[in-house]
Amino acid sequence: MKKLTLPISDEEIRDLKVGETVLLSGVMMTGRDAVHKWMNDAFIAKKKEPTADDLAVYEAIKPILDGGIIYHCGPVVSGVESGDYKFIAAGPTTSIREEPYQADVMKHFNLKGVIGKGGMAGKTLQGCQDTPAVYFHAIGGAASLIAQSVQEVLCVHKLDFGVPEAMWVIDVKDFPVVVTMDSHGGSQHNVVEGKSEEVLAGLMQK
């Protein structure tokens, strides 16, 4: 098992291969559907003019994401009204919903990793090779356990998106993940899909 501290270098990313288990420590940020669409529309595809708040948030998250990781997660958070934030549950969200945006977001912000569940498709896999970056699979159903690796909630951006969709900046220690898409074109999700199709084809012939 490897231990990596954020920010992560290109060399460390290229050294990772599909199937390796990793413990991540350092500062990362959550981001789901609303965040990826906001990043794309305001700063990548430039479909809309960013507001002053958008620009302030953009400048705040750039150094966090440069060499960093975005976590597909809609956490359960206590202390939202008081500002005394604490993660109660922090399980991964299904990642494929971000497929239209992920490769562009990785390139734009120099992301070195994405954490989620279920894997992603060809555009993101190519983005992992180009950036370079990797896809880390987190354990679904272990939301409370994963939350224990969150040492502190440092801040939150775009809370108006709602608690699950906001950008939570968190300091984690020994966050457990598995590499399932690497920077060399390897994808465990493609392997599983191929084997499943073989089994299905065999069943259909019976």
In the chain, % of residues over pLDDT 70: 91
Is the model's pLDDT at 203 over the cut of 70?
A: no
Catalytic residue ranges: 36
CA distance 42 to 49: 6
Amino acid at 170: I
Categorize the per-residue pLDDT at 201 as very low, low, confident or very high, splitting at 50, 70 and 90. low
Percent of the chain with pLDDT over 90: 86
Instruction: Reply yes or no on whether the pLDDT at 40 is more than 80.
Output: yes
Location of structure tokens 């970056």: 133
Q: Which helix (H) or strand (E) holds 146?
A: helix 143-147
Fold of 2-205: fumarase (3.20.130)
Q: Residue ranges per domain, the chain?
A: 2-205
153-170 pLDDT per residue, tens:
999 999 999 999 999 999
**pLDDT 10s digits, 128-152:** 999 999 999 998 777 788 889 999 9
Structure confidence at residue 82 (pLDDT): 93
Segments in 3-90 forming alpha helices (H)? 10-14, 33-39, 52-65
Asked whether 75 and 164 are in contact (CB, 8 A), the reply is yes
Q: What is the mean pLDDT of residues 40-64?
A: 97
